[in-house]
Amino acid sequence: MAEQRLKTSIAILGSGDVGATLAYTLLQNPICSEVILVDPKRELLEAQVRDLGDATYGGRAATKIRAGTHQEAGQADIVVITAGAKQKPDESRLSLLRRNLQILSSIFTSMSPISPHAILLLVANPVDILTYFARKLSGLPESQVLGTGTSLDSARLRGILAQKAQVSPSSIDAYVLGEHGESQFVAWSNASIGSTPLRLALSQHLTDEFKTDIETHTRGAAGAIIAAKGCTAYGIGNVAASICKYILFDSRTVRPLSFYQTSLGCCLSMPAVIGRKGILRAMPIQLDGDEQKLLEVCAEGLRAVIEGAEKELKADDELRHALEKHA
Ligand SMILES: NC(=O)c1ccc[n+]([C@@H]2O[C@H](COP(=O)([O-])OP(=O)(O)OC[C@H]3O[C@@H](n4cnc5c(N)ncnc54)[C@H](O)[C@@H]3O)[C@@H](O)[C@H]2O)c1
């Protein structure tokens, strides 16, 4: 029993490109006793576990990897959801969303009863919408359900600004906020290098054209990588592993994460303090007038998708019941 309490585990649902890369990152930078991979594709799952296991025999492996069931995953300290269907050619976003919601709903049914202490980290797309529905389907407190949101986009932003300013990315404080998708925006008014506002630190460069170029890059980076290699995995693997560390180490780090915004009626990314109990609190941010408008437009778009999905779900008895269970 004592040993049981000392164990820390991270369950990863989905052993595809993102799930396996996250598992590899967690094995290379150990923060928990065990990583449990879950996937209905048994052959793929076993192969991933064996391949990942081979990376742990070098002598410094503190973390074990194994295949598990949804039921076991539901008892983990952190449950990371990378499980999702890929978009078919010509498939609408709503139809993809419906398929991913069916997967999400079946995951919660299979994990039930989920540990009341579990922290859910959504990675699968559309991450803000799935985070919204995971809140409802899991029955967990709002603070324990979060999505990676724009943390990857923000990491890309830090990388570009660091190159431009010739400083370490860790000295850049700049966030992409809103949707992990088309309507995201950069909170330029709050960006700084060290304690110097970006408008002073990069005064020569900070033209509208420069900002638009950067926004286009952070918004489109994933599409370009997917077009060339079929997925993005390393960046998100690293970002998700860092978020797991902030949670397990109760580090109270501030990051832009997707979580429920009461005043906006949807999940989207805003700065939050993250620790052992998930989202500990929102970190207030003062946006300028234009950014505030962009945030509202972004929330409006997400609410419209949620409303569309909710209408569709009413026609699907199983999903409707799953959603009503914790209403
Ligand atoms: N949020 C981000 O910044 C970000 C970045 C990259 C990718 N993603 C998203 O992550 C998701 C995964 O991407 P990928 O490239 O790994 O896809 P993938 O198709 O390689 O892997 C998905 C895996 O999920 C599995 N799965 C399906 N149903 C399941 C269930 N009920 N339980 C457990 N596993 C199940 C599938 O069998 C598959 O192996 C996608 O939705 C992708 O868009 C998000």
Task: Please state the atom number of ligand 1 nearest to the C-alpha of residue 123.
Answer: 1
Report the chain's mean pLDDT, rounded to a whole number.
92
Identify each DSSP E strand in the chain by its residue range.
Answer: 9-13, 34-38, 64-67, 78-81, 119-122, 145-147, 172-173, 176-177, 185-186, 192-193, 196-197, 253-261, 266-275, 278-282
pLDDT for residue 89: 67
Question: Residue 64 and residue 109: Cα distance in Å, rounded?
Answer: 26
Task: Please state the atom number of ligand 1 nearest to the C-alpha of residue 147.
Answer: 1
Residue 314 scores a pLDDT above 80: no
Name the residue of 125, 157, 255 to mutate for ligand 1: max ligand atoms within 8 A of Cβ: 125
| Inter-residue long-range contacts of 196-202, CB under 8 Å, 24+ positions, other chains counted | 198/161, 198/174, 201/165, 202/161, 202/164, 202/165
pLDDT average, residue stretch 309-321: 77
pLDDT for residue 12: 98
Distance 19 CA to ligand 1 centre (A): 7
pTM value is 0.95
Question: Residue 290 and residue 294: Cα distance in Å, rounded?
Answer: 6
SS3 state at 257: strand
Residue 310 scores a pLDDT above 90: no
Told to judge if 180 belongs to the known catalytic residues of this protein, a careful annotator would answer: yes
Residue 185 scores a pLDDT above 70: yes
Marked catalytic residue, from 70, 180, 205, 326 = 180
96 CB less than 6 Å from ligand 1? no
Question: Residue 273 and residue 280: Cα distance in Å, rounded?
Answer: 5
13 with 73: CB under 8 angstroms?
yes
Distance 203 CA to ligand 1 centre (A): 41
Question: Residue 136 and residue 162: Cα distance in Å, rounded?
Answer: 39
Confidence of residue 327 (pLDDT cuts 50, 70, 90): low
Give binding residues for NAD(+) as ranges: 14-19, 39, 100, 123-125
How, if at all, do strands 34-38 and 64-67 pair? parallel
- Closest residue by Cα to atom 7, ligand 1, is 232
Task: Please state the atom number of ligand 1 nearest to the C-alpha of residue 149.
Answer: 1
pLDDT average, residue stretch 244-272: 98
Query: Angle at Cα 147 formed by Cα 229 and Cα 131, nearest 5°?
Result: 110
Higher pLDDT, 58 or 220: 220
Higher pLDDT, 211 or 327: 211
Model pLDDT for residues 2-35, shown as the tens digit of each residue = 455 578 999 999 999 999 999 999 999 999 999 9
- Name 64's bridge partners: 34
Residue 155 scores a pLDDT above 90: yes
